């Protein structure tokens, strides 16, 4: 009777499973009981996982101070790349470009456009490597180790490189001449040069090179300083192997911005006199350079900030998504 009654109750709950023990008693179980036991076990396991130690996915992102060295490293690498391929700062060591540039000014030089075949144009202020010992006898700066490192990566102007800065007057195919005190003529057209240092004449009346008439060969430029009576430029180097010309391959780039001191900040555009009709009879055109107005260090830093913010935001979203997934699994 007891066995039959137990079987009836089991049948009402689900399919029964019968068996006999060693003493002959009947044992009864059901799928519903097994399912309920399994469910409880699953919940218990989930609860243990929820109350246990947090997983790696739930760890907080590294603090800003831990990421700061990474930020600085990225900024330094970007500064080096910017200095090498985009823009470089130079310090003005002399008075040969007054009053356009003063001694101690800092200029930013575009180094990008030459990579795409752009050549110096008339009227541009350019930085170039010493073509043939033009700086003989000039004092050389002696920067300390820290200055060397900062100038190498582009965070300080170059101090010990043998570079010069002048204005391009003639390009390949041009005929440039000076007679008397001026004006300077290019392809027979006189130049109006308001940028020449006050009190100076456009041409220097001397027998050392101030009086000349030259034709610039292809691949070269003729340069002169704005402080005409205080500039050792193409005029006074006509006895070198390039006859005073500067090879285009030695041009570092165009000075596009006077960046320091801040009170003298401004761009260095091509004067209007170089756009006069008929001057460009040789078919050459002045190159145009994009005005990059930010120092390499600032560009590098501004480029890394969005990168770090994106990385931190991505980490936050990833952690948030994993947290939601864990909660949903627990609900099941």
Instruction: Collect all residues with Cβ–Cβ distance below 8 Å to 209 and sequence separation of at least 6.
Output: 235, 236, 237, 238, 244
Residue predicted with more confidence, 39 or 290: 39
d(C-alpha 33, C-alpha 37), whole Å: 6
Most confidently modeled range among 11-15, 24-28, 172-176, 320-324: 172-176
Tens of pLDDT, residue by residue over 176-204, are 999 999 999 999 999 999 999 999 999 99
For the chain, which domains are there? 2-51 (no CATH), 87-291 (2.10.109.10)
pLDDT digits (tens, 9 = 90+) for 83-116: 555 678 888 989 999 999 999 999 999 888 776 7
pLDDT of residue 143: 65
How far apart are alpha carbons 97 and 195 in whole angstroms? 9
**Mean pLDDT of the region 239-255:** 94
Between 60-64, 153-157, 255-259, the lowest mean confidence (pLDDT) is in 153-157
Q: What is the pLDDT of residue 118?
A: 83
Q: Residue 73 — very low, low, confident or very high, per pLDDT cuts 50/70/90? A: confident
| Chain segment 107-141, per-residue pLDDT in tens | 999 888 776 778 999 999 999 999 998 988 776 66
CB 308 within 8 A of CB 71: yes
**Active-site amino acid positions:** 96, 166
């Amino acid at each position: 009777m007891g066995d039959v009654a137990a079987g009836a109750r089991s049948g009402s709950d689900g399919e029964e499973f019968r068996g006999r023990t060693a003493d002959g008693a009947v044992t009864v179980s059901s799928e519903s009981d097994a399912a309920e036991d399994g469910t409880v076990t699953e919940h218990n396991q989930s609860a243990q996982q929820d109350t246990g130690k947090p997983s790696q996915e739930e760890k907080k992102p590294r603090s800003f101070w831990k990421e700061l060295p990474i930020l600085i490293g990225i900024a330094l690498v970007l500064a080096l790349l910017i200095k090498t391929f985009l823009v470089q700062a130079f310090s003005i060591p002399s008075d040969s470009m007054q009053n356009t540039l003063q001694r101690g000014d800092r200029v930013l030089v575009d180094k990008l456009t030459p990579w795409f075949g752009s050549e110096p144009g008339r009227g541009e202020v350019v930085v170039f490597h010493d073509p043939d010992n033009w700086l003989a006898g000039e004092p050389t700066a002696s920067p300390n180790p820290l200055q060397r490192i900062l100038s190498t990566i582009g965070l300080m102007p170059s101090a010990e490189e043998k570079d010069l800065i002048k204005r391009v007057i003639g390009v390949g195919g041009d005929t440039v001449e000076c007679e008397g005190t001026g004006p300077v003529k290019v392809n027979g057209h006189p130049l109006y040069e308001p940028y020449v240092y006050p009190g100076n004449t456009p041409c220097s009346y001397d027998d050392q090179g101030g009086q000349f008439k030259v034709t610039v060969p292809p691949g070269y430029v003729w340069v002169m300083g704005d402080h005409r009576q205080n500039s050792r430029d193409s005029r006074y180097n006509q006895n070198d192997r390039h006859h005073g010309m500067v090879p285009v391959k030695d041009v570092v780039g165009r000075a596009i911005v006077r960046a320091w001191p801040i009170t003298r900040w401004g761009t260095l555009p091509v004067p209007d006199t170089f756009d006069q009709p008929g001057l460009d009879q040789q078919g050459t055109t002045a190159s145009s350079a994009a005005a990059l107005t930010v120092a390499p260090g600032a560009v590098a830093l501004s480029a890394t900030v969005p990168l770090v913010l994106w990385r931190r935001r991505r980490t936050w979203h990833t952690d948030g998504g994993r947290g939601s997934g864990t909660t949903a699994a627990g609900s099941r």
